[in-house]
Amino acid sequence: MEFAEIPGLASRIAACNWAVDVWAPLPRLIASLDVILRRDIPVIFEHMGMPDVRAGVAGNEPDPAKLLDLFCAWVDDVELQQKILVDNPTRLYGFQRDASASINTASGVIQDF
């Protein structure tokens, strides 16, 4: 779907209790932010970035441990990590949250999922 289609579909997206999952190159995303965020619907900015399609499937497989290390370096506040990695997905996707779910900041891993 193109960004220009979001306004016309926003009410239908909201009625289905869906979110818009955005996966776009950063310059295009920035240019379209006002169209995306103007609607009363949840927006998820794809966390894996844009793969290099020329590299093929094997060249696009990120190392989850390296991604988590990078995330923890960027977001060093454990409460914010909890919101990003646990609370937001729980709210957006309706997951049933395990009361024991937590983030172990010493090792940088999510536990009990």
Q: What is the pLDDT of residue 80?
A: 92
Give the C-alpha distances (Å, rounded to integers) separating 65 from 40, 61, 75: 34, 12, 15
Same domain, 46 and 88: no
Look at the chain and report how many structural domains it folds into: 2
Its pTM surpasses 0.85? no
Same domain, 83 and 105: yes
Place of tokens 């290099």: 52
Residuewise pLDDT in 10s, the chain (113 residues): 788 888 888 888 888 888 888 888 778 888 888 887 777 788 887 766 566 666 666 666 777 788 888 889 999 999 999 988 888 888 877 777 666 666 665 555 555 44
Q: Which residues contact 39 (CB under 8 A, 6 or more apart)?
A: 6, 7, 10, 13, 14, 20
Instruction: Give dist(CA 42, CA 68) in Å, integer.
Output: 24
In which domain, by residue range, is 82 found? 63-113
